[in-house]
Amino acid sequence: MEFNTQSAIGNPQSGWTSDELGRICRQVLRNFFGSFREAEVVASFYPYVGLTHTACKVLRRRAPRDMEEIYEQFRRDPELEAGLRRRRLQRGRKLINSSKGRHHALREIFEELNGKHFNHQLHIKQLGWGPRRSWSRLGHFDEVHNSITISPVLDSPRVPRGVVSYILYHEMLHILFSGTDGHGRGRHHPPEFRRAEEAYPDRASIKRFLNEFCRSRGKVRSSGLGLP
């Protein structure tokens, strides 16, 4: 059995060789995944724009907690983060459709929320409906490209404007609290973020609607439907 992996951790020019990368991959895979103890593991470098959990994605498994903590320490290095930002700005692309959907106009909702909740202080470079109908991620703020993408599954006559407003409000909070220090998910949702989110009017009823809406399409997720 042959397993090919590609890594964004380093590159041959940085002093790492493919042989060294292969040795590390073989050690990790064989220690943590029994099916790889007799497998041939071939590893090579690939110039990803960002970091990626290659092995975990292929195996569809979550890494052990102690390994995640080591990875998080590495990923939070200021020099590494600055380099990733530069590469994403230089090479990364954002595929976003128009903010004007068939049923909901995101720019109009953004301006309404910006005035009502943020005193017109927030600015966004790109805002629009995503190219894919994602149920696992209904909204996303990209700090590097200063963009907000909303899943087109919400551009439906069945979805009230207030529900779209709440999802967009959640992503706008990311603009407000971008750069807040922390670890893991808490880094993106610090306590002050959660307090502001919980203060949104009718939040409980909106989340109930989203649960029912997703369930009616057979998109139930044990992790909370990927809702904000």
Strand stretches in the chain, DSSP E: 2-7, 40-45, 126-129, 139-142, 147-150
Residue 12 has pLDDT above 70, yes or no: no
Q: What is the model's pTM?
A: 0.61
pLDDT given at position 87 = 65
pLDDT given at position 82 = 67
Sketch the domain layout of the chain as residue ranges.
2-91, 106-216
How many CA atoms lie less than 13 Å away from 111 in the CB half-sphere? 4
Q: What pLDDT, in 10s, does the model give residues 19-28?
A: 887 888 788 7
Residue 59 has pLDDT above 90, yes or no: no
Select from 112, 102, 215, 104 the least CA-distant residue to 169: 112
Q: What pLDDT, in 10s, does the model give residues 157-214?
A: 999 999 999 999 999 999 998 865 444 344 567 899 999 999 999 999 999 999 888 8
Token look-up 């068939």 returns: 102
Q: Which CATH superfamily is domain 106-216 in?
A: Metalloproteases ("zincins"), catalytic domain (3.30.2010.10)
168 vs 174: CA distance, rounded Å: 10
The least confident of 38-52, 105-119, 174-188 is 174-188
pLDDT given at position 60 = 62
The least confident of 42-56, 99-113, 144-158, 186-200 is 42-56
Across 52-75, average pLDDT:
67
Average pLDDT, the chain: 77
